[in-house]
């Protein structure tokens, strides 16, 4: 496993992380098996993955709890990244809440669930436009000064929101969707991060499963699967993507790689990308994803991929 350092910090992270939405994320996936979820976290650690990415919205805290149960013997060798700013109301509905008091309470609650006295990287999960970002980031900066968090991130933000959040140069990491089938982050977000010394960590690096290479045109997502509403999975778009996937599989085969490893290696060679955080519901997925670390795609392969993605 190769490692890198988060921008403007001394925090070392594995270039392959583990996105844990499916670990306890009962509100996002159907038929979540918590025992297997804990096994995937353990497998990630055994594969040298140190960056564990979660959120208090994944299972409304259950993902954090399960991770906390697994990591006690090795917590200080890990980089725990979690997110807040989504409030569950008494009636079961949710709303965005980036108020400073709410974020402080959310950090404290995440620390308790994770069984830790500090969080390495804390993100605002989604932007609450009711609250000036200067207030939200100001509170996270105070929490950083108090030693409760070590780095500040922002997720699901426009470039204008990132600029506003970074007005005092406080942002260490931006997390945003980016993968072979959606390269919109290349237009403004990644250039801004490169210019302002911000680590860019894409989520959904395998296009939320499509670049796993195993989906068929008649595949249907289960009821309760949050991906059902994504444009990627709408029938016409999905079919077009699967056609690209078949071509990418051939390139992967030429390089003696599995398609997911080709997709992850491609991302890691993109300017500005410091790490990727693929998810996984099975132990073998975590094992296989870790093998993408250190792969260097030759220029000829890179050019073939570009032709497919731009075609």
d(CA 268, CA 283): 22
Q: What is the 3-state secondary structure (H, E, C) of 45-100?
A: HHCCCCEEECCCCHHHHHHHHHHHHHCCCCHHHCEEEEEECEEECCCCCEEECCCH
Q: Is 138 exposed, middle or buried (0-12, 13-18, 19+ CB in 10 A)?
A: middle
Q: Of 266, 254, 273, 270, nearest to 295 (Cα)?
A: 266
Q: Report the catalytic residues.
A: 58
Using alpha carbons only, what angle is made at residue 164 by residues 143 and 167, rounded to the nearest 5 degrees?
Answer: 65
Q: Of 39, 50, 24, nearest to 113 (Cα)?
A: 24
For the sheet with 199-203, list strands across it: 18-19, 51-53, 79-84, 119-124, 149-155, 173-177, 199-203
């Amino acid at each position: 496993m190769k490692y890198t350092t988060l921008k403007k910090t001394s925090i070392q992270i594995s270039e392959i992380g583990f996105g844990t939405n499916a670990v306890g994320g009962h509100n996002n996936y159907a038929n979540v098996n918590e025992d297997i979820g804990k096994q995937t976290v353990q497998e990630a650690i055994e594969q040298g993955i140190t960056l564990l990415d979660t959120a208090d919205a994944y299972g409304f805290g259950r993902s954090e709890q399960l991770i906390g149960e697994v990591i006690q013997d090795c917590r200080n060798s890990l980089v725990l990244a979690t997110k807040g700013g989504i409030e569950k109301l008494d009636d079961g509905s949710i709303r965005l809440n980036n108020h400073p008091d709410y974020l402080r309470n959310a950090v404290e609650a995440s620390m308790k669930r994770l069984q830790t006295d500090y969080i390495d990287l804390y993100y605002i999960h989604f932007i609450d436009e009711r609250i000036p970002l200067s207030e939200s980031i100001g509170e996270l900066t105070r929490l950083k000064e108090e030693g409760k968090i070590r780095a500040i991130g922002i997720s699901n933000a426009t470039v204008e929101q990132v600029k506003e959040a970074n007005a005092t140069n406080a942002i260490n990491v931006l997390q945003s969707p980016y993968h072979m089938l959606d390269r919109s982050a290349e237009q403004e977000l990644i250039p801004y991060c490169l210019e302002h010394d911000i680590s860019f960590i894409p989520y959904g690096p395998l296009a939320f499963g499509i670049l796993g290479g195993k989906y068929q045109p008649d595949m249907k997502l289960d009821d309760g699967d949050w991906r059902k509403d994504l444009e990627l999975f709408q029938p016409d778009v999905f079919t077009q993507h699967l056609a690209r996937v078949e071509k990418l599989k051939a390139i992967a085969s030429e390089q003696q790689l599995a398609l997911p490893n080709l997709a992850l290696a491609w991302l890691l060679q993109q300017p500005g990308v410091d790490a990727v955080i693929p998810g996984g519901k099975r132990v073998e997925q975590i094992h296989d994803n870790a093998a993408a670390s250190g792969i260097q795609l030759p220029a000829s392969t890179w050019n073939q991929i570009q032709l497919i993605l731009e075609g």
